[in-house]
Amino acid sequence: MDNETKETTMQLPTLIVVVITAFITTFTGSALNLSVPAIGSEFNASAAMVGWIVNGYILAAAVLAVPFGRFADMTGRKRILVTGIFTFAICAGGAAFATSMGMLVLLRIIQGIGAAMIFCTNTAVLISVCSPDTRGRALGVSVASTYIGLSAGPVVGGLLNHNLGWRSIFIMTFIVSITAFIIAVKKLPGGKIKKDWQGLDIAGNILYILMITLIMYGLSSFSTHAYAKFLILAGVVLFAIFIFHELKTAHPIIEVRLFANNIGYSFSNLAALLNYSATFALGYLLSIYLQVVKGFDSQIAGIVLISQPLVMAILSPYAGRLSDRVSPFKLASIGMALCTVGLFSFIFISENYPFVLIIANLIVVGIGFAFFSSPNTNAVMACVEKEDYGVASSILSTMRSIGHSASMAIVTFIISSQMGTATLNDAEPGQIVETMHIAFIVFTIVCAVGIFISLKRKQS
């Protein structure tokens, strides 16, 4: 068997597993968003408790992605990926039969641990079986499946929840995930282990987990708890201690020197953080606008909002293939610029804002994100050695999670400052629009800084 045939034989099952896992991890979250009221009603749970269905999952995934990424690089990525898929699937199956809110939240947290194993390995496993000239194409397909999951979640999840109940979403998740698990066990290549597991940086792992936990929990509760700022401050202090420790240890969980010595790698991760921080809350804000200000029902609002991830899903494979031929740094910078243009246009939103402009702006942001995400991931992976793919993928995943939390923290802070304790239903449309103006000004500035960062990097 020649090398090209061997590579193709490994790529196909690997790509299938990566596509399924990228789809189901995003689908489950977006589908469950529509089921939160039904879940809260069934278990008679408070809004804060119901929120942990989402927050517990995100927090667990973000906190453990990098530790699992380093562990996977040292002991074998297939092993961690397979374990993660199995954990994700079993927790989905268990959640379908949850008998209390506490049980459901616990299963979602454990499912987040499984998701961390998936996030830190699926991209790394895919890249490891691709040649440099096909890497962008494969990443484009993987990213597209992520956005297909985001697009299908509200539609399929809404249908399942309405007709079969919220538990059916978890049953579907279990079936799809266990299929990926079977394929992964039977078909994924084992890979070579180049590092000794005895080099695991235990102190670094503990510091990292505490640091990310404090920062993310502090961000998520910044507008509701006075102590949140102290949690963030403690996280920043631990971050400084973590950096000092990593510079001194022989086997760091994160090779901090790589950030100092590789501008392309550092700025690519920073650009990802800024992009996610600027764009993640867009759907949340527009959902409020379309339903409260414009008076559309959730079904119409969902159809409108689908336009952005749908464009991402369509264009991401093309953007990925293009990044194999054109500098991924340049493509990602163009994508960031388009995101900025789309966000800037939303600054002028009003109660009578033309419906067609809302869709047009979403499409512009969708195009921009498609041309940013795959090329930027390609740029990150091009900056590291093959044995560090796992931790590089994990750090990028963590940038996404922190960006998501920061984006929602910004929105929550602005809403609290402008509207106080008023509910969305009691707020005046003009008050909501003014709040959105402030939010989009902030997000446009953040994204504009991202353009500068993206343009400054160079491949070393």
What is the per-residue pLDDT across 23-57, written as a single tens digit (0 to 9) for each? 888 888 777 766 766 787 788 876 557 767 877 88
Q: Do 142 and 211 fall into the same domain?
A: no
Of residues 316 and 418, more confidently modeled: 316
Least confident piece of the model among 142-156, 179-193, 311-325, 414-428: 414-428
Specify the pLDDT at position 460.
44
Distance separating alpha carbons of residues 338 and 208, to the nearest angstrom:
34
Distance separating alpha carbons of residues 394 and 139, to the nearest angstrom:
15
Least confident piece of the model among 5-9, 31-35, 251-255, 324-328: 5-9
Percent of the chain whose predicted confidence (pLDDT) is above 70:
86
Q: Do 71 and 94 fall into the same domain?
A: yes
Q: Where are the alpha helices (DSSP H) in 323-354?
A: 328-346
The token duo for 11 is 């790529």
Which residue's entry shows tokens 């031929």? Answer: 325
pLDDT digits (tens, 9 = 90+) for 51-90: 678 778 878 887 888 788 777 877 778 889 999 999 999 9
C-beta of residue 340 within 8 angstroms of C-beta of residue 451:
yes
Handedness of CA 89, 92, 98, 103 (dihedral sign): positive
Least confident piece of the model among 31-35, 207-211, 308-312, 404-408: 31-35
Specify the pLDDT at position 191.
60
pLDDT digits (tens, 9 = 90+) for 126-148: 877 777 777 677 777 777 787 77
Q: Do 120 and 171 fall into the same domain?
A: yes
Handedness of CA 333, 337, 342, 346 (dihedral sign): positive
Q: Do 210 and 187 fall into the same domain?
A: no
Q: Do 267 and 230 fall into the same domain?
A: no
End residue of a domain, out of 195, 215, 230: 195
Q: Do 41 and 92 fall into the same domain?
A: yes
pLDDT digits (tens, 9 = 90+) for 398-452: 787 778 777 877 877 787 777 665 555 566 788 888 888 999 999 999 999 988 8
Residue 215, pLDDT above cutoff 80: yes
Q: Do 408 and 348 fall into the same domain?
A: yes
Where residue 291 sits, what CATH number does that domain have? 1.20.1250.20
Distance separating alpha carbons of residues 255 and 388, to the nearest angstrom:
9
Average pLDDT over residues 11-28: 85
Residue 284, pLDDT above cutoff 80: no
Average pLDDT over residues 243-260: 78
Q: Do 148 and 18 fall into the same domain?
A: yes
Give residue 245's domain range: 201-250
CA 355 to mean position of chain CA atoms: 28
Least confident piece of the model among 115-124, 251-260, 271-280: 251-260
Q: Do 224 and 293 fall into the same domain?
A: no
Chain-wide mean pLDDT for the chain?
Answer: 81
The token duo for 128 is 């490891």
Which residue's entry shows tokens 């500068």? Answer: 452
Residue 206, pLDDT above cutoff 80: yes
The token duo for 367 is 């195009």
Q: Do 270 and 139 fall into the same domain?
A: no
Specify the pLDDT at position 412.
72
Specify the pLDDT at position 223.
64
pTM of the model: 0.72
Specify the pLDDT at position 180.
92
Q: How many domains are there within the chain?
A: 3
Q: Do 47 and 115 fall into the same domain?
A: yes
Q: Do 52 and 94 fall into the same domain?
A: yes
Q: How confident is the model at residue 459 (pLDDT cuts 50, 70, 90)?
A: very low
Distance separating alpha carbons of residues 276 and 24, to the nearest angstrom:
20
Specify the pLDDT at position 322.
85
